[in-house]
Each structure stands twice: as C-alpha cells, then as structure tokens.
Chains A and B, each alone.
Chain A
C-alpha cells in the first residue's frame, strides 16, 4: 500500500502552430517528478529528439514515436527537480519540417518515489490504447496521444483503470492535421497490467505514450535506525 502521488499542475502550449521553441512554466519543489511531452501532427522531413531545457535540470527521454510523414509524433521525457524554483521548460519542434503544427505539455507530481513503467506501443498499431504493467501500487498513470487520422472525438470514451476513467486534461483537433488527447489516472490501484487511453472514437492512428508516476511507499521516507557499537 502506498500513497498516490499528488498532481501539482498540468500546463500545455497551444497545439496548432509551428512556432519553435515553445515554453511552459512550472513551479517545482525539490524531488518533484516532471513529465514533459511533445506531440506533433506528423514526422514529415524526419524526426528530431532534442531534449527540453529549463531550470538547469536534466531531462531523460522515456519514449519516442512517429518518425515519418505517415505518423504523428510523440516524445516523452522525465525530470526530477533538484531545487525549488519557478521556470520555463523550453522544447523545440520535434521534427525537421517547418510547416508541421505541434505542442508541448508538462505535468508536475509531488510525493512520488519515482517514474515507473512506460507504455509506448508501436505507432499506429492501436486505437488510442497503451497497455503496460505498473511497477508499484497506487501509482498515477499519465497518457497522451496524437492521432494522425484526426478522427472526430466530439464523443469520446476513456478506458478504465482501477474502476476510474480518469480525467481528461486536453482534447484538441484540427480535422486537417491531427487530434491530441491527454489524460491522467490519479490512482492505478495494485501493481499490474493497465490499459490507458481512449477506446472511442475508433479509427485512430495513434502515437500514444503512457507513463507511471509512482506513489510514496509507506514508511519510505523514514531514515534507517542507527545502531551505535557498545563502548567499553
């Protein structure tokens, strides 16, 4: 049994411009877990994998999907804050082509023992579905996808994890370009297989990534007992 991590914030840029770089502002405390993702309509011209910058922190790539014209692009990075501060995370367009629209987002979580499993099925092989096995109990699960087919999601259905359909953060669609879905599940329950994403609309060609944010294990913060040798 663990305590689920606390969602501190979610911020996203616009998803409908080609502007680069794009920034999102976050406020963190030491130890906060930050998930950053870039989503683009497609990978025309070839993909790039430049890590975000900001706050003097280190960003580690977790997954990258979609590297060609016929798929949407999705990249995720993790960062653990090493100091308390407010700063901008800056990300560059994750592809060579200059006329592709895209956006960047960031979640901040507190009270977490770290990042866990990552689900990133081969792009275009699922309809908004990322199935993976969480490593710890009571983790949060974040899922975000770009649908190359730009299917109409006016009516949409989120998949269920631990009896919850979670919460949608952003839905964006340009019927000529792509559709973006971002969502979270606050408590994925016992460690095990979970399926995140949207089951409807159907017909999606998804670049979907799901990331586990572990909770805080009971007693994890306690210091080990110090035993002094007996002095004679």
Chain B
C-alpha cells in the first residue's frame, strides 16, 4: 500500500491504474481511473473514481488491451451492483478505449472493474 490516499495526486500520479497480465505477458489490460473525492482506502470496496483518459498525443485512453497470443481472451469484471461485464480481446489485437467508449460498454467507474480476470472462457 503505497503512501497517499485514493487521490492519485498524493502520489504524484495523474491517475490510478489497474493492470492484469496473463499468458506470459501476452495478454495485458490497463485501466486508468481517478478519485471520486469520497471513497477511502479503508472502505470495504476501497478506492473508487471515474475512468479517465490520459493526456498527450496517443495517450488519450482509459482502457488499453493487448493480446499477442493465439486465443481469444475475455476480460471479466463485476460491477458494484453485481452485474458482470465482459470485454472480448481477439488474438492479435492491440487497442484502446476512451472513457466514453468504455462507458458505452458499462465501464464507468473503477468499481465497475472489480474481480478483474482474464480467461479464455467467455
């Protein structure tokens, strides 16, 4: 637990980050999120905040995904209300989603990205 609070600025970061890689690193997702100004680390669900885009050329995304493997992978998460979400990551893909694109798929807040898992099971 690094120093600071849920606010990434307390660590000098522009955003908080969730990352998961499997398959010897071939399959890799990154999710960026900010702070909702309310949640605290000691909360049962930890820090929460909206997904945010990075800034700068080529960096304006909230979700990135890479699948250098031969199989389709699925990013599974569970929203705070219990609704499961799935993002399909085809083999050979390397893409990003803006926060607006992510929101269209149901990924609005960090709490929509709990139970983060990457599997070959849909």
Q: Which positions in A face B, CB cutoff 8 Å?
A: 14, 16-18, 41-42, 44, 69, 98-99, 101, 148-150, 152-154, 167-178
Contact = CB atoms under 8 A, between A and B. Distances in A.
Nearest to B6: A176
A171 B46 contact: no
B103 interface: no
A16 B116 CA distance: 7
A14 B41 contact: no
B21 A174 contact: no
B1 A99 contact: no
A14 B75 CA distance: 12
Nearest to B11: A175
Contacts of B30: 154
A176 B8 CA distance: 8
A173 B4 CA distance: 16
A173 B44 CA distance: 18
Contact of A152 (B8, B17, B22, B25): B17
B47 interface: yes
7 contacts: A16-B18, A148-B2, A171-B21, A171-B22, A173-B20, A174-B17, A177-B1
Given A99-B42, A168-B24, A168-B25, A175 B115 contact: no
Given A16-B114, A175-B8, A177-B1, A167 B17 contact: no
